[in-house]
Amino acid sequence: MRFKDISSFHISKPSVSGEKVVVGMSGGVDSSVAAALLAGSGYAVTGLTLKFLCNGCGKGAGSEDDTVSSAEEVCRSLGIEHRTVDVSHEFRKKVIDYFTGEYKAGRTPNPCIICNEKVKFPAIAAAADSLGVRSIATGHYARLARDREGRLLFGEAKDRLKDQGYFLYRVPVKILKRIVFPLAGLTKEEVRSLAAGIGLHTKTGKESQDICFLPDGDLSGFLSANISTSEGDVVDKNGNLLGRHRGTFQYTIGQRKGLGIASSAPLYVSSIDPGQKRIVLSDNESLFTDRVICSGLRMRVRDPLLPLSAKIRYRHRPAKVKSVERRKDTLAVSFERPQRAVTSGQSLVLYSGGMIIGGGIITGF
């Protein structure tokens, strides 16, 4: 394997020749190119594949076997060591059970954010510790930078459309201090081009923000199999009965399709009440609010100062913040303009000068 074709991409050289780094590898193109870039820059790389799933976790064993075999093949082609670690117990307890519990409570969670915080990055760091290795790396499109006070924050990766800092805002600082993100200065197309140029052939095609434990993306089927179905009323904002639903967990804020309600004007899910087994529908205007409450904070800055912007979901364009009020472990964020379909269970992430300074899980508005 020749690496001179990728030497023009800037990665910090190891402090000593052959410095070790453990790279989380899924067998996909992103993590494979990350490993290749580090190896080509003089690091002694160990590829690590985490086994998240077990029988009954949502996918058959074959799919994860494909992930492992693909990662092994890439590591062989790069001439680097490969290891696997089974984290299926932690993944089931901390991610899958959390995921189903949130839907049961009428919220819409983002499991990838929780996995990064509680399973993926801690497991990679622990594996590195067991090998006596300080540095770790992944194939995320993310960039770390320091602000004027020297705090380590997420900046914006070169590929703005793929930037994954939103998914990583909860990763502990003690782990961030050890991380290298080789793809920070690359676009997805450049990564694909690099993979083709150095002859990397990967088998897995899933994107890292896909929910890995949902077979064929069948969210409804997964939830139905894991949460007891309990039907209830569908009402309008005045309490008038419109119909019946098949379980509150089947719905999310802002949903319009699949409601099974005949109406002369478009209706959207505006409220979910599992306790009363009730779904409330309203018009589009009722979905807007200018205030969001979040808890479970992970802040890099004690007292956020304006100007700020915030995302209320991954694909949301950062919106200008009017005010921020922090009380113990809750944060109240007011926007200059009302935001549509604020959803409990998703993450609100705060940005200052384009850098992530923290966030929390949305609990209300």
Strand residue runs (E) in 177-240: 179-180, 232-236
Q: Are 101 and 112 in contact (CB under 8 A)?
A: no
Neighbour tally for 288: CB within 10 Å: 14
CA-CA distance, 322 to 332, in Å (whole number)?
11
**Bridge partners of 227?**
none
SS3 303: coil
Catalytic residue among 54, 57, 112, 115: 115
Q: Are 43 and 70 in contact (CB under 8 A)?
A: no
Q: Which residues of 325-345 are buried (b: 16+ CB within 10 A; e: fewer)?
A: eeeeeebebebeeebebbbbb
Pairing of strands 20-24, 135-137: parallel
Residues contacting 240, CB < 8 A, separation 6+: none
Catalytic residue among 54, 75, 112, 212: 212
Enumerate long-range contacts of 174-179, CB under 8 Å, 24 or more apart.
Answer: 175/121, 175/122, 175/125, 175/136, 176/144, 176/152, 177/152, 178/125, 178/128, 178/134, 178/135, 178/136, 179/121, 179/135, 179/136, 179/137, 179/138, 179/144
Residues contacting 302, CB < 8 A, separation 6+: none
Structure tokens at 173: 């600082």
CA-CA distance, 15 to 180, in Å (whole number)?
13
75 is an active site residue: no
Residues taking part in catalysis: 115, 212
